[in-house]
Amino acid sequence: MNRNFCNTSLKKKYFFVAATLSFMALLPVVVYANEADPLTAINNLSSFVFSAIKAVGVIILGWGVVQIGLSLQSHDASQRSNGFLTFFGGLVIAFAKEILDLIL
């Protein structure tokens, strides 16, 4: 019985590897090289990173607005100051690229 278990386990591993290799051989991915300037790839990456940072900044900005609204409802001064700090921090993060463009 132990020998039969070993054979079925080996068969399962063999079929898994065979199926994986078959899929890899039958479904190739075609990649074309781009002969453009290498700086365009860096610029595209930079714009992607700044758009991701902008999305995070907008989320933080929205959370700051929620905190300000909750603090006005509960009359809590410390939560209000935290809300304004979060709001302005999100504002700076959301417009980080524009601020850097103005500085440089």
Domain that includes residue 8, residue range: 2-103
User: Hey, what long-range contacts does 95-100 have (CB within 8 A, 24 or more apart)?
Assistant: 95/54, 95/57, 96/50, 96/53, 96/54, 96/57, 97/50, 97/53, 97/54
> What is the pLDDT at residue 4?
59
For residue 27, the surrounding DSSP H or E stretch is none
Tens of pLDDT, residues 4-52:
556 677 788 888 999 998 888 887 777 776 666 778 878 888 899 999 9
pLDDT band at 66 (very low <50, low <70, confident <90, very high): very high
* Residue 94 burial (C-beta neighbours within 10 Å; 0-12, 13-18, 19+): buried
Q: Per-residue pLDDT for 55 more than 90? A: yes
> What is the pLDDT at residue 24?
82
Number of separate domains in the chain: 1
Q: Per-residue pLDDT for 54 more than 90? A: yes
Check residues 62 and 38 and name the one with the higher pLDDT: 62
For the record, the structure tokens of 81 come out as: 């100051």
Q: What is the mean pLDDT of residues 73-86?
A: 91
Tell me the DSSP string of 55-97. Answer: HHHHHHHHHHHHHHHHHHHHT-HHHHHHHHHHHHHHHHHHTHH
Q: Average per-residue pLDDT in the chain? A: 85
